[in-house]
């Protein structure tokens, strides 16, 4: 069965990956042949949300690369969706309907229409969000980040690649 769009694009922080993220990615992939996922950098999250992600960018990107619905993962350095369109040439941008009517996406819809692209809104998963998880875990908005260096053995064995691969098995 042919899908409605050839190339799809979506973005997010994807901190503390949860079923809401999975629902968005699954729905997006159902509608496009190739799904590109932009992941907000730690700096962008700090600047726009005044929060520090719990999971560092590299790890969030690895988790998404392991998801079977995702074809390509790219860092998102800013919220300029039109610049992203010019770079990735997507037919549709997929977002949660919590963004519908926002200034950012109202302008985005108008501009993308000029290029033959569109914004597709999916129902927001109400029961879970990274913010709700943070609150439940009683995590501060800007936790102290502790960088744990990999041992030589872990580097050689590709521990993080193995973890991402294991995660893929859970999502399959």
Q: Kindly name the residue from 49, 79, 132, 168 that is annotated as catalytic.
A: 49
String of DSSP letters for 65-104 = HTSTT-SEEEEE-S--HHHHHHHH--SEEEEEGGGTT-HH
51 is catalytic: yes
Q: Tokens for 139, please give them.
A: 């995590």
156 is catalytic: no
Q: Kindly name the residue from 29, 51, 65, 81 that is annotated as catalytic.
A: 51
String of DSSP letters for 8-39 = EEEEE--TT--HHHHHHHHHHHHHEEEEEEEE
Catalytic residue positions, numbered: 49, 51
């Amino acid at each position: 069965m042919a899908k409605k769009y050839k190339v799809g694009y979506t973005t997010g922080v994807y901190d503390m990956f949860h079923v809401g993220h999975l629902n968005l990615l699954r729905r997006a992939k159902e509608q496009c042949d190739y799904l590109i996922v932009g992941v907000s950098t730690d700096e962008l999250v700090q600047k726009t949300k005044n929060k520090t992600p719990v999971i560092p960018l590299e790890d969030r990107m690895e988790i998404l690369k392991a998801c079977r619905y995702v074809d390509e993962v790219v860092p998102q350095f800013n919220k300029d969706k039109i610049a992203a369109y010019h770079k990735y040439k997507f037919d549709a941008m997929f977002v949660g309907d919590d963004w519908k009517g926002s200034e950012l996406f109202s302008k985005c819809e108008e501009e993308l229409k000029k290029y033959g692209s569109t914004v597709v809104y999916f129902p927001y998963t109400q029961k879970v969000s990274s913010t709700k998880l943070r609150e439940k875990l009683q995590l501060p908005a800007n936790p102290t980040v502790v960088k744990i260096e990999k041992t030589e053995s872990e580097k050689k064995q590709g521990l993080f690649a193995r973890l991402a691969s294991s995660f893929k098995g859970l999502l399959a």
